[in-house]
């Protein structure tokens, strides 16, 4: 592993220099986002604040080639070079990205990492007009394009109104088999083969979506560079679509192994949960995560601040993990017993959660 890190550092400098001579392939990833009622709006019905999030990048063939060679030492089969390409691509900074189809021009510049993170407001009337006629769940589609380039993508924004119910779910080892407790397994399950779903999870999520007219938000420590592959996974395995709240990897994060293994995602996840709770009035939330990282700690903390808004907490663990059960009982000591539960497979989860 140690040699791998050294290779990456050298590679970074060499490849940036050589890369300029190779054909550059650019692209735009839009990560589904959310919209909340604008808290400063005095109108009735109130205006909306919509968030757009994405990443404008350029592939780096050399860096990608070298990372692929290093990964081959660990991931011996089915290494997906497209995932490596996205992971080693470089963000394009200070570029105007513009949302189309609005009554006024709406452009924002990418930040130093090539990320787009901007908010804009629309009246309720504009929002309703934007909803597709076949839309029953409050999803808006927006086209975002790179200024002066023929690059555009369609992004989704999910309306998160004051009433209703949202299921907020972790991804790795909650709905997708990742094996986060092992570095090797994480790399193999991240960079090779098809992403594999935890048994029965897509079915129960679909059921809850229909039963409760619920929206879904996926909260994950994975980097947004991998969003296109997660999307393929959601669609292939039948998970409801929803907003995604991800981290972003840059090579300044030292190396990608520590990025995957670090617990710095705790603050980011907490911040996202608070964003949902603070921007809605009576909406209720069901939180789903796993015992393998810090989800129980994050969720216990959020519960203590918003007990009335958290309808249920479900934590994935192995049924025979008694130590884990004890850890949860201690952590969730102040949470009424009927408000939390554990599961190993989708079939272990109750169909009625309210
Ligand atoms: C379902 O939720 C959407 C918004 O999330 C709302 O517009 C719609 O009216 C709801 N449908 C029902 C049947 O409650």
- Ligand 1 centre and the CA of 282: distance in Å? 15
* Unique residue bearing structure tokens 């908010």: 119
Name the more confident of 1 and 333. 333
8 Å CB contact between 173 and 180: yes
CA of 276 to the centre of ligand 1 (A): 18
Q: Between the CA of residue 310 and those of 24, 304, 333, what are the distances in Å?
A: 47, 10, 15
Question: If we measure between CA atoms, which residue out of 166, 276, 264 comes closest to residue 221?
Answer: 264
Enter the DSSP assignment of 18: H
* Residue nearest ligand 1's atom 9 by CA: 136
Give me the pLDDT at residue 102, please. 82
For the chain, the structural domain boundaries read 2-159, 165-348
Instruction: Give the C-alpha separation, 288 to 315, whole Å.
Output: 6
The pLDDT value recorded for residue 14 is: 57
Tell me the best of 34, 134, 138, 240 to mutate to test the pocket of ligand 1, counting ligand atoms within 8 Å of each CB and taking the most.
Answer: 138
Of 184 and 9, more confident: 184
Dist CA 32 CA 15 (whole Å): 32
CA-nearest residue, atom 14 of ligand 1: 213
Q: Which two tokens stand for residue 86?
A: 């996205």
| pLDDT on residue 250 | 81
- Measured CA to CA, the distance from residue 296 to residue 221 in angstroms comes to 14
Nearest CA to ligand 1 atom 12: 213
Does the C-beta of 137 come closer than 6 Å to ligand 1?
Answer: yes
Of all protein residues, the one whose alpha carbon is nearest to atom 2 of ligand 1 is 137
Strand partners, 166: 215, 285
**Closest C-alpha to 51, from 234, 243, 222, 229:** 243
Cβ–ligand 1 contact at 213 (below 6 Å): yes
Put simply, whether the predicted model's pTM sits higher than 0.85 gets the answer yes
Residue 320: CB partners within 8 Å, gap ≥ 6? none
- Looking at mean pLDDT, say which of 83-87, 214-218, 221-225 comes out highest: 214-218
Q: What confidence tier does 299 reach under pLDDT thresholds 50, 70, 90?
A: very high
pLDDT at 211: 96
> How far does the centroid of ligand 1 lie from the alpha carbon of residue 163, in Å?
9
With b for 16 or more beta-carbon neighbours within 10 A and e for fewer, the 167-204 pattern comes to: bbbbbbbbbbebbbeeeeebbbbbbbeebebbeebbbb
> Which residue among 127, 132, 137, 283 is best mutated to probe the pocket of ligand 1, counting the most ligand atoms within 8 A of its Cβ?
137
Specify the pLDDT at position 134. Answer: 66
Residues paired with residue 285 on neighbouring β-strands, in sequence order: 166, 310
Positive or negative, the CA dihedral 229, 286, 290, 208 is negative
Give, for 129, the enclosing helix (H) or strand (E). Answer: helix 124-130
**pLDDT, the chain, mean:** 90
> Who's near 32: CB < 8 A, 6+ residues apart?
155, 156, 157, 158, 241, 242, 243, 244
For residue 223, is pLDDT > 60?
A: yes
Determine whether the shortest distance from the Cβ of 138 to ligand 1 is under 6 A. Answer: yes
Model pLDDT, residue 234: 97
At 159-179, the pLDDT tens digits run 999 999 999 999 999 999 998
pLDDT at 11: 55
- The answer to whether the CB of 159 is under 6 A from ligand 1 is yes
Q: Which CATH superfamily is domain 165-348 in?
A: HAD superfamily/HAD-like (3.40.50.1000)
Nearest to 250 by CA among 19, 92, 65, 24: 92
Other Cβ atoms closer than 10 A to 128: 14
Task: Tell me how far apart the alpha carbons of residues 288 and 347 are, in angstroms, rounded to a whole number.
Answer: 14
Q: How far is CA 304 from the centre of its chain?
A: 24
- Which of 127, 130, 136 gets mutated to test ligand 1 (max ligand atoms within 8 A of its CB)? 136
Task: Give the mutation target among 213, 215, 283 for probing the ligand 1 site: most ligand atoms within 8 A of CB.
Answer: 213
pLDDT in tens, 263-288: 778 888 999 999 999 999 999 999 99
Distance between CA atoms of residues 212 and 311, nearest Å:
13
pLDDT above 70: residue 3: no
Q: How far apart are CA 287 and CA 310, in angstroms?
A: 7
Q: What percent of the chain has pLDDT over 90?
A: 72
Nearest atom in ligand 1 to the alpha carbon of residue 158 is 5
109 three-state secondary structure? strand
C-beta of 164 in contact with ligand 1 (< 6 A): yes
Q: How confident is the model at residue 290 (pLDDT cuts 50, 70, 90)?
A: very high
C-beta separation of 85 from 69 below 8 A? no
Q: What is d(CA 301, CA 285) in angstroms, rounded to the nearest whole number? A: 14
Q: Does the beta carbon of 131 sit less than 6 angstroms from any atom of ligand 1?
A: no
What CA–CA distance (Å, rounded) separates 41 from 28?
32
């Amino acid at each position: 592993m140690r040699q791998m890190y050294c290779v990456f550092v050298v590679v970074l400098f060499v490849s940036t220099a050589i890369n300029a001579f190779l054909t550059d392939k650019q692209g735009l990833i839009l990560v589904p986002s959310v919209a909340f009622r604008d808290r400063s709006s005095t109108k009735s019905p109130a205006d909306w604040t919509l968030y757009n999030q994405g990443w404008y990048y350029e592939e780096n063939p050399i860096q990608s080639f070298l990372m692929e060679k290093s990964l081959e030492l660990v991931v011996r089969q089915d290494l997906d070079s497209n995932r490596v390409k996205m992971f080693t691509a470089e963000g394009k900074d200070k570029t105007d990205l513009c949302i189309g189809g609005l009554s006024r021009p709406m452009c924002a510049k990418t930040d130093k990492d090539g990320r787009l993170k901007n908010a804009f407001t629309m009246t309720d009337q504009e929002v309703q007009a934007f909803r597709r006629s076949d839309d029953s769940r409050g999803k808006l589609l927006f086209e975002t394009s790179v200024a002066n380039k023929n690059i555009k993508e369609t992004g989704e924004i999910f309306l998160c109104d004051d009433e209703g119910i949202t299921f907020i779910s972790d991804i790795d080892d909650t709905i997708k088999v990742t094996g986060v407790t092992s570095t090797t397994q994480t790399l193999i399950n991240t960079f090779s083969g098809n992403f594999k779903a935890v048994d029965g999870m897509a079915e129960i999520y679909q059921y809850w979506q229909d039963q409760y007219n619920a929206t879904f938000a996926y909260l994950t420590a994975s980097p947004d560079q991998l969003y296109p592959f997660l999307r393929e996974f959601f669609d292939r395995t039948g998970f409801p679509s929803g907003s995604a709240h991800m981290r972003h990897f840059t090579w300044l994060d030292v190396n990608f192994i520590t990025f995957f293994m670090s617990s710095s995602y705790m603050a980011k996840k907490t911040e996202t949960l608070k964003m949902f709770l603070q921007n809605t009035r009576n909406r209720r939330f069901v939180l789903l995560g796993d015992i393998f990282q810090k989800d129980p700690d994050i969720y216990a903390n959020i519960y203590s601040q918003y007990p009335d808004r958290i309808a249920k907490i479900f934590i994935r663990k192995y049924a025979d993990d008694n130590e884990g059960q004890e850890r949860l009982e201690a952590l969730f000591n102040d949470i009424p017993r009927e408000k939390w539960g554990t599961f190993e497979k989708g079939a272990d989860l109750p169909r009625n959660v309210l």
